[in-house]
Amino acid sequence: MKVSFDWLKDFVKIDATPEAVAEKLTMIGLEVEGIERAGGDAIFEINVTPNRPDCLSMIGIGRELSAIYGVKLTFPDLSVVSEAKELDFNVEILEPEICCRYAGRIVHKVKVGPSPSWMKERLEKCGIRSINNIVDITNYVLLEFGHPLHAFDLSTLKGHLIRVGTPKAAAGQSGIKFVTLDGAERDIMEDMLLIWDAESPVAVAGIMGGRDTEVTAKTVDIFIESAHFEPSSIRRTSKILGLKTESSYRFERGADVKVLKKALDRAALLMKEIAGGTIYGKIDIYPKRFRPKMVGVRYQRINRVLGIEVPQHDTLNCLKGLGLEICDCSDVGFKVKVPPFRSDITREEDIIEEVARLYGYDNIPAVLPRAHLMSNNRRADIAASKARSEVRESFLKCGFTEAINLSFMSSRELDIFAIAAEDPRRRHVKVRNPLREEEAFMRTTLMPALVRNLLYNISHGNRELSIFEIGRVFIGLNGDALPAERENIAALCYKEKVKTLYKDDTPDFFVLKGIVDAILEGIGLRDISYIRSDEPFLHPGRSADIMAGATKVGYIGGLSPAVLEMLDIKAQKPSVMVFEMDIELILPYVGRDNVYRPLPKYPFIDRDTAIIVGTGLEAAEIIRLVKTYPSEKIEDASIFDVYQGGNIGEGRKSIAFNVRYRSAERTLTDSEVEILHKDLVAYVLEKTGAQLRI
């Protein structure tokens, strides 16, 4: 926005240089991007942020300067003496939710012609070209007050009537064609606000007038429009029509509903002075009155946010200088009655920002922030919260749906899962006044609730389900002690065997295990392993306990056929994979310091080996032996095949594993890898009692 410094001094009497004023404006948030010289005047290029439509005018900028320099803001003379004749003109607002106020004045017997040189010069300095004295006056008042006006040729308005409404409200039409001042025919939709006379539209409200009602050299009588429109309506219409004007730029940011009367009177006075017109009475239709918002402010809150002690009288002076009305003052705080030109002020923090701007950012000393030492307990709480959040996000990203269940269960559900009497999960806490028998106990595991969710979905025709839950379980203690509350995470995957266009040979157990591995690794839990599980409700050949170091933290696997039969799941070969883990048990292993190493410079060498062992030996034991073998050249190891039957023999199985070798210092040779691998295999055979499969 271009602002004339000489014009500004009509409203605020200051002796500062343009450069000093530019620096002050920039420091309070109205960035002056440049200063141009035009004769003896200085033209500021000010970047006004979208939340400050009140500063899109000379008076708005002047108000800021009056607060900075502590001088009075002077308004132009608005003493209008109207002719005593009764107006034969009416205004109807058909949709007050879009147009809450519409005012107008009639000026008779004007002489349309060129504007005086002083007005032309001021308009041109601000980037607006001169058209004629009537149109120039509306633009001049727009720059002064920031409120758009429109001048109609009164003789072109039919029926001595102005109506404000959309095509749907005014004419019952879904859309019309309308020719604007620029000569373009535009498609007006049913929800776009228009200004109408008694018969047809005469302007696109808040954006541009119509060609048929424009002021020309033949115009004698003027109707001046000054209204307030809903910003969202103007913004939507302007965007759809691709029509941006100085008027729409201000209306879509929010105009001052009270200043429109002053702008109207100012324009009428200038038309009388410059164009020789006679002012008639005013029409002001105001069905939806403005109700100022009250914002409470505390002195203590101001000082805490700014980090300094601002004297109370300085705080009040800053706000009064901006035209804000202060009421209900006390030693604790005060209230601010927000004027309509400051729609950006909605809460206490907005008032604090105004105090900071006017008190001066340079008066706030630069100090180093306080570094709060964090206790180990607090650090652990943050780590737990972060791990919990990351696990939840990871399950959601993997396509799971989060379930939220009540923390109750029945003892029969533990019977279905064949939980032993000595198992801690049998130490449930009885609810004193349960609503129903099925919710008589506090849950000791999350799995029964997820199974209930599964049965509900199956009964409603869902043939595939992936859900998880993070919640607390309650383990009873001896005596009257409160139960131990543990936070667990559990997941359940269900699908039926159905015909598909492709074949997926990956067992469901390894699909869920892969998801769990990725999630645990994502929170920094890498020291995990799996051993055969003895959970009574899991399939003995498709289950495992999850170990963090030597501690069991959870389990994973498929529900046993016995449990599936008791649940009476009527489906062809249903697959129900479950997982549950105690979050508190894994926290000591989460977030351990990562050791970063550079990417390898030298290639690796793989070697595969198959050995025959007893069926009781876990494949994880072989991986453990390989990884603990005393050699820095062993980079990784993995199982890629387990086979039983054929010529392997009864009670035995073949396990094939891969070992990756690499040196960080040089390229390994085949011969030295052969020697190392031979020694490693001999070590594994010795420790396991296995034999090499040839």
* CB neighbour class for 592 (10 Å; exposed up to 12, middle 13-18, buried from 19): exposed
- Evaluate whether 114 touches 93 at the Cβ level (below 8 Å): no
- What is the pLDDT at residue 576? 93
pLDDT of the residue at 499: 63
Within its chain, how far is the Cα of 319 from the centroid?
A: 31
Beta strands in 215-258 (DSSP E): 222-229
For tokens 């019977």, what's the residue? Answer: 415
Closest to 221 in 3D by CA, of 273, 281, 151, 274: 151
DSSP string of 164-193? Answer: EE-HHHHHS-SEEEEEBTTS-EEEEETTS-
CA distance 355 to 317: 9
pLDDT averaged per 10 residues, the chain (length 694) = 94 93 93 91 94 94 94 89 75 95 94 96 94 96 96 94 94 92 94 95 96 95 96 95 94 93 95 93 91 94 92 93 92 94 93 93 82 66 80 92 93 90 90 87 94 93 92 86 90 81 73 90 80 91 88 93 87 86 84 72 94 88 90 92 87 93 93 95 93 88
What token pair was written down for 666? 């040089």
Locate the DSSP E strands across 180-310. 185-189, 194-196, 201-204, 208-209, 222-229, 278-285, 294-298
Q: What angle do CA 242, 246, 250 make, to 5 degrees?
A: 95
* pLDDT attached to residue 618: 84
| Distance between CA atoms of residues 604 and 663, nearest Å | 8
Q: 181-205 in b/e burial notation, b at 16+ Cβ within 10 A? A: beeeebebeebbbbbbbeeebbbbb
Tokens of residue 111, six digits: 């002489």
Dihedral-angle region of residue 426 (phi above 0 means left; psi in -120 to 50 means alpha; beta otherwise) = alpha
Query: For residue 502, what pLDDT is reported?
Result: 62
Give the Cα separation of 168 and 176 in Å (integer): 10
DSSP 692: E
For residue 106, count CB atoms less than 10 angstroms from its CB and return exposed for 0-12, middle for 13-18, buried for 19 or more.
buried
489, β-bridge pairs = 470, 581
pLDDT of res. 501: 60
Could you give all domains of the chain from N- to C-terminal order, each with its CATH number? 2-69 (3.30.56.10), 90-285 (3.50.40.10), 294-362 (3.30.56.10), 378-589 (3.30.930.10), 605-692 (3.30.70.380)
Per-residue model confidence (pLDDT) at position 632? 92
Backbone angles phi, psi at 610, to 5 degrees: -120, 135
Q: What are phi and psi of 164, to 5 degrees?
A: -120, 115
Can you say whether residue 353 is alpha, beta or left, with left for phi > 0 and alpha for psi between -120 and 50 degrees?
alpha
Predicted structure pTM score = 0.59
E strand map for 496-599: 528-532, 538-548, 551-559, 575-582
Pairing of strands 464-475, 401-402: parallel
Please provide the distance, in angstroms rounded to a whole number, between the alpha carbons at the two ends of the chain: 86
CA atoms within 13 A on the CB side of 377: 0
Please name the residue that has the structure tokens 């228009």. Answer: 194
Residue 421 in tokens: 């009497």
Distance CA 490, CA 492 (A): 7
